[in-house]
Each structure stands twice: as C-alpha cells, then as structure tokens.
Amino acid sequence: MQNINEALKFRPVALPCVQKGSIRLYTTNLFVGGCPHMCRYCYAQGFSAFSKSGPRPVPMPAITNVRKWPRKIFLSSSSDPFHPLVIERAAEVLKAALRSGSFVVISTKALATPEIVRMLSRHSEQVSYTVSLTSLDEERNRILEPHVPNSYERLHGKKEGQDFLCGIEQLADSGVNITLKVDTIFPDLDDADENIVRLLKEAKLCGAKAVMFSYAFYRNRFKKRLTGIGFLQKSLSEMNEYQPIASGKGYSLPIVKKKVRLVSLAKIASEIGYQVISTCSCKNRIEGALEGIPLRPDCHFHDKMKGE
C-alpha cells in the first residue's frame, strides 16, 4: 500500500501553529519547479523546490494511486492548487481526500470550477477555503501579481468560453465558508483605512465570513524584485526590522507598529461584521499581545465560524 509521503511528497508544514498532534497539517503542491503566478513578493521563489526549468504539474498517478490520506491537508504552501494547469489534479485530490474524511485547507488566488464548488458544497464541514486578495487597485495587482485573476474575478468569478469559473460569491452561495486572506499587506499602501474598508465591504457582500491579515516581508535575496517598483518605496522604507518570519527571518514592518496596525484592521473588520478575524502568527510574531482584541493568531483553521 502506497502511503501519502511516498506518493505525493506531503510534508508537515513547518509553522508553529500546526506543528504538533491532531492539528498537524500536511501540504502538497501540485507543481514541481515553481508557481506560474510569479507574484513579485513571493518568498517561496527562493525555495529549493523552485527551479530554472519552470513549473511542471506532478504526474496524475501520484494522486490517483494514494490509498491513505492524512487528517488535515493544505493545498498549497508554495503554489496555487487551482491554477488552470493543475486544477484537474486538484479536483482528484479533493475527491479522494474528502471522501476519506480528511479536512482540507485551500489557499488560492485562482478560480474554482463548478465541479469543485459542488464537491466542496457537499463536504463544507471538511473545508477551510481562503481566497487571497489584498487590494482592489487593479494597477497595483497587475504589477505585483501579474498572472493572477483580477480582484473583480476573485470576488465574482468570470465567464471563460463556454464555462463559468467561480469566485468568492459563487462559493459562498453554495454554502462554503470563505476566508478573505488579506495577504500580502504592504504598509502605508494596502493598509490605508479607505482601502481596507472598501475591500472588506466588497468581500462581505460576496459572502466572506472570516478575514486573515498578514503583512509583507522580504529577504535580501528577493528584495531586488521589489525595489524597482515606484509605489513600494515608502512601504519598503517602513519594513526595516529583521525579525522571525515564516521559515527563518526577514525584514518587515517593526513588530510594535505591526501590532498597532493589526489591531486597527481587526477593529475595522469587526465593525463590518466579520465573524472570525485572525493574523498569520508565522509571519506576524506578536504572540501574547492579542488578549482583549478581536484577533486570533492562526493562519488556516477558520472552519469554525463561532470564533472560538
């Protein structure tokens, strides 16, 4: 019998919030070699799994031959599981994993097919679905996320040929609990009150129930991808503290300032009516500073909409 580690190369996610026991989360990326989105701020481009040969989908037998699935699966840590090149593979993973009883965490900037939406609707208690969208500024998104559906499409879906691809609105209408993932936030750009209010209200109208905030960071090896972008200069000057971040350290908004801004963002989200509000504690190390404010320090587990 082929187990999950042999077949799909799943690995425990090296994040403090999911390291131990029953909450251990296993991840797979349906590409090897990289992610076709090529977002300018993507720290995963520095991972050894990214190669000069470019992204290649994993072989289909690596998915269809799996016989044993872990309790919790993350799609995906360093590539988008719903990119058109691999969305059929994602559907196979979801079909098998959900049928086996696995809880599936989905993180995407792409759009879902109606087949996937129907599948998730039938297993909504086993799904945490996050859509990454930080800004409604299409020029900002075009430059930083050059191969990603635009903000309107991520919110409302889009017609493509004879098919319709689904965004937050269609997923929420089908009963899937949606988290808006406001990540990656560049300070003094994306976190302006008017920008955040507009984004959160639009996503709430589409059916998002939870929101997760996370600030940008950079490491020196990919800073040069950002320094040539004029509208990021003020943000980068603010991101001047070297701090524990994800799988190492990186430069980000100083933790003292970050805490103040995250609290402010959480209060805005609470006033708009979001049921669960969190931050990624792996990238925003402010543990112990959250008591008394409506902000949970977790990344993915927004399946329980009561906020406990």
Does the structure show a pLDDT above 90 at 27?
no
What is the predicted pLDDT for the residue at 57? Answer: 86
What is the predicted pLDDT for the residue at 33? Answer: 75
Does the structure show a pLDDT above 90 at 218?
yes
Contact 79, 55 (CB under 8 A): yes
What is the predicted pLDDT for the residue at 165? Answer: 97
Does the structure show a pLDDT above 70 at 17?
no
pLDDT confidence band for 11 (50 / 70 / 90): low
The pLDDT tens digits for 180-214 are: 999 999 999 999 999 999 999 999 999 999 999 99
* 215-219, 224-228, 242-246: least confident range: 242-246
CA distance 193 to 173: 28
CA distance 2 to 88: 21
Tokens standing for 295? 């902000």
More confident position, 16 or 91: 91
- For the entire predicted model, the pTM comes to 0.90
Residue found by looking up tokens 């026991």 in the block: 21
